[in-house]
Amino acid sequence: MNTPLPNQPVRGSHSGVAIMAVFDLLGRKWNMRILWELRTGPQTFRTLQENCDNMSPSVLNNRIKQLADARLLATSPTGYQLTELGNTLMTTLDPLRAWASVWEKQL
Amino acid sequence: MNTPLPNQPVRGSHSGVAIMAVFDLLGRKWNMRILWELRTGPQTFRTLQENCDNMSPSVLNNRIKQLADARLLATSPTGYQLTELGNTLMTTLDPLRAWASVWEKQL
DNA sequence: GTATATTGCTACTTATTTCGTAGCGAATTG
DNA sequence: CAATTCGCTACGAAATAAGTAGCAATATAC
């Protein structure tokens, strides 16, 4: 499973359009969640795993590599943390929380 | 595969917190892409399939049902289209395009 | 009004992804 | 130096997605 990056073909699309790479990357299970959990600060492998409902370590490890390839997270002395890019992504996804609560009310 | 909805347990989380349901739903392959393709207007089953890189009809059908359950899309005389909720979701995801292009530049 | 094409699917098989569990080697703590 | 914690790998089982064929219903063409 290769890491979807802009300017190169991604799963299901050969256009290389950046937004398609985003959909491919974030559409893989756990990726959005992992970034979300790291919003509030760095976490170790095992803490992150616990916070992501004990997702399997093999998948977590795989995801960490993908997200690192995509320059959205990086390792630090205190654990994995968002890069600047990862942070700005989370900021653009931030309004999702508000949307989710509207959604919740309407259902 | 059940449809993740707020206020009920979703894959990997039993909290019922709305944002987790969003991650579960949007984290499934094609869901974000399908909504994105419908941004600009209604599409028939087969057109949608073509625009989603000829995804398999079985999965498309499955996703349509999920997204309809989640009240994000509905059928109309001219094909499938976003509901009001679906539209507001796409609006909140709109800044992703801008982020994606920054991402592209930095890689 | 009958042949042709298109549309929305379903069925089924195969491939890929994800899960779940066990556990190892390195670093840290007592 | 024993015990724990940590990051991670291996690997079989389960779930999900892909790929292909095709059918029934409606629309279009002649």
pLDDT tens-digit map of A16-38: 589 999 999 999 999 999 999 99
What confidence score (pLDDT) does residue A1 get? 79
CA of A8 to C1' of C3 (A): 46
Q: Which residue has the higher pLDDT, A45 or B12?
A: A45
In sequence order, what E strands does B19-93 have?
A: 73-76, 79-82
pLDDT tens for each residue of B49-107: 999 999 999 999 999 999 999 999 999 999 999 999 999 999 999 999 999 999 999 98
Per DSSP, chain A holds a count of helices (H) and strands (E) of 6, 2
What confidence score (pLDDT) does residue B107 get? 87
**Closest CA of chain A from B39, distance in Å:** 14
Give me the residue from B6, B7, B106 closest to A71, CB to CB.
Answer: B106
**Closest CA of chain B from A60, distance in Å:** 13
- Which has the closest alpha carbon to A68: A79, A56, A80? A80
Listed by range, residues with Cβ under 7 angstroms from strand C are A 1, 11, 28-30, 54-59, 62; B 11-12, 44-47, 56-58, 61, 64, 75, 79
In sequence order, what E strands does A18-98 have?
A: 73-76, 79-82
Domains in chain A (CATH in brackets) are 18-106 (1.10.10.10)
Distance of CA B105 to the CA centre of its chain: 26
pLDDT tens for each residue of A2-18: 889 887 766 655 565 89
